[in-house]
């Protein structure tokens, strides 16, 4: 199958899922065309089945805001026509689903019929999509996609509650590629990070408000008072400065390292004992799954799709949003006893295995076939 994938090429979760999916489909023999405004962060190797088309935008003094949607739609028309694609799979509804609809209408005028699958990732529904400035377009483009998937049951329910949806939304959960995410032996790195054999606690995110990165530091302070620990903060974003400031105010900055954006996240996770995700909204929690795949238990909130991933008392614990004391108590419980920590590590890994790419990829392939069959023009 020849598939065009549209996504945000950044370090955000939806871009990572789209890129990893494209890479896996290409390894399975499909021809994959990424159509984005810059090279996707995880598109880091060459394969004969992978293509990348950059959406270039003409600048003009009249444009206060560059009309990216028009440039992307034009690029989609061009790539679908020239490369003879069978299907478009767009990740993150805003603006990709409505742009794909526009491209599809334009292509129809050339007698080309291409089905569009939209994957909803989270904030395109929960935080941003619901806003009045977007919701009519989001509703329309979900209803007019030929296939729609959501990355968790909770996101599917939220979509149906928040918008007037007249079609099926299929749940296909996020996945993990174990050929990349596995526990690597990084003893020298661990000794450098935690020379006194302290426990290593990790958080990775884009440091947006929704991630509650200050709660990570608050939890760490409580844990560190009982169990000597180090905190690794991976990623960057608007809340990083406030979070660094809080670490200084709380007097823990000597035990906290802000590492910025990192590509080799699996190496950092491999030296970690616990992952913290105190988000106030999380449709799935891909970063938590990546941690679990590296044998790292997760203390998270119970919001959104997190309870579908992180099993309370098994792979980690769930607490209410903002309940720093509860999350600290759970973190200490996991970390204070070596045997218990090992049990949580094993259980986190076992849970992650249920989201193995090898189990999820066939679900996407079958869904593409289903959509193609349902949209086939007779004759």
Q: What is the helix (H) or strand (E) element at residue 228, kind and residue range? A: none
Beta strands in 10-146 (DSSP E): 31-36, 50-54, 87-91, 116-120
Least distance (Å) between residue 208 CB and ligand GMT? 6
Entry field: residues in the chain: 379
Which of 142/335 has CB closer to ligand GMT?
142
Report CA-CA distances (Å) from 116 to 1, 69, 79, 174, 373: 14, 16, 14, 19, 13
Least distance (Å) between residue 312 CB and ligand GMT? 18
CA nearest to 43, candidates 9, 92, 80, 88: 9
Whole-angstrom Cα distance, residue 153 to residue 176? Answer: 18
Interface residue with ligand GMT among 252, 286, 352, 371 (CB under 6 A) is: 286
**243: phi then psi, degrees, rounded to nearest 5:** -70, -40
Which of 4/285 has CB closer to ligand GMT?
285
Interface residue with ligand GMT among 92, 101, 207, 220 (CB under 6 A) is: 92
Which of 10/49 has CB closer to ligand GMT?
10
Residue 327 is a binding residue for ligand GMT (CB under 6 A): no
Encode 158-186: b = buried (16+ Cβ within 10 Å), e = exposed: bbeeebebeeebbbbbbbbbbeebbbeeb
Give me the 246-285 binding string for ligand GMT, x by CB under 6 A, dash otherwise. Answer: -----------------------------------xxxxx
Residue 40 is a binding residue for ligand GMT (CB under 6 A): no
Strands 87-91 and 170-171: unpaired
Which of 81/312 has CB closer to ligand GMT?
312
Residue 210 is a binding residue for ligand GMT (CB under 6 A): yes
- Pick the piece of the chain touching ligand GMT (CB under 6 A) from 24-32, 117-125, 257-265, 351-359: 117-125
**What does the binding site for ligand GMT look like in residue numbers (CB under 6 A)?**
12-15, 17, 92, 121-123, 126, 151, 174, 206, 208, 210, 281-286
């Amino acid at each position: 199958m020849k598939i065009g994938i549209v996504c945000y090429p950044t370090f955000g979760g939806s871009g990572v899922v789209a890129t990893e999916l494209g890479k896996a489909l290409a390894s399975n023999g499909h021809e994959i065309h990424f159509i984005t405004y810059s090279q996707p962060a995880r598109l880091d190797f060459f394969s004969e089945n992978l293509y990348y088309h950059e959406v270039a935008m003409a600048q003009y003094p009249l444009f206060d805001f560059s009309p990216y949607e028009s440039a992307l739609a034009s690029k989609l028309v061009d790539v679908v026509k020239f490369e003879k694609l069978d299907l478009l799979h767009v990740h993150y509804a805003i603006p990709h689903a409505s742009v794909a609809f526009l491209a599809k209408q334009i292509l129809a005028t050339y007698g080309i019929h291409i089905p569009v699958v939209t994957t909803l990732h989270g904030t395109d529904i929960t935080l941003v999509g619901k806003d009045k400035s977007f919701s009519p377009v989001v509703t329309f483009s979900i209803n007019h996609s030929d296939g729609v998937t959501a990355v968790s049951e909770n996101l599917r329910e939220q979509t149906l509650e928040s918008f007037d949806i007249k079609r099926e939304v299929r749940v296909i959960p996020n996945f993990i590629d174990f050929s990349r995410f596995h526990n690597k032996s990084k003893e020298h790195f661990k000794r450098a990070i935690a020379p006194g054999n302290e426990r290593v606690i990790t958080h990775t995110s884009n440091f947006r408000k929704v991630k509650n990165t200050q709660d990570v530091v608050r939890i760490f302070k409580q844990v560190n008072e009982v169990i000597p620990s180090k905190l690794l903060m991976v990623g960057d974003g608007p809340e990083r400065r406030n979070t660094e400031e809080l670490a200084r105010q709380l007097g823990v900055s000597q035990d906290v390292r802000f590492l910025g954006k990192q590509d080799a996240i699996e190496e950092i996770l491999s030296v970690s004992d616990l992952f913290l995700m105190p988000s106030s909204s999380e449709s799935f929690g891909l970063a938590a799954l990546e941690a679990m795949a590296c044998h790292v238990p997760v203390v998270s909130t119970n919001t959104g799709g997190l309870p579908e991933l992180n099993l309370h008392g098994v792979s980690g614990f769930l607490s209410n949003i903002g309940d720093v004391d509860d999350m600290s108590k759970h973190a200490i419980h996991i970390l204070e006893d070596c045997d218990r920590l090992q049990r949580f590590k094993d259980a986190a890994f076992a849970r992650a295995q249920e989201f193995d790419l090898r189990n999820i990829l066939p679900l996407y392939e079958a869904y593409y076939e289903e959509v193609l069959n349902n949209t086939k023009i007779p004759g």
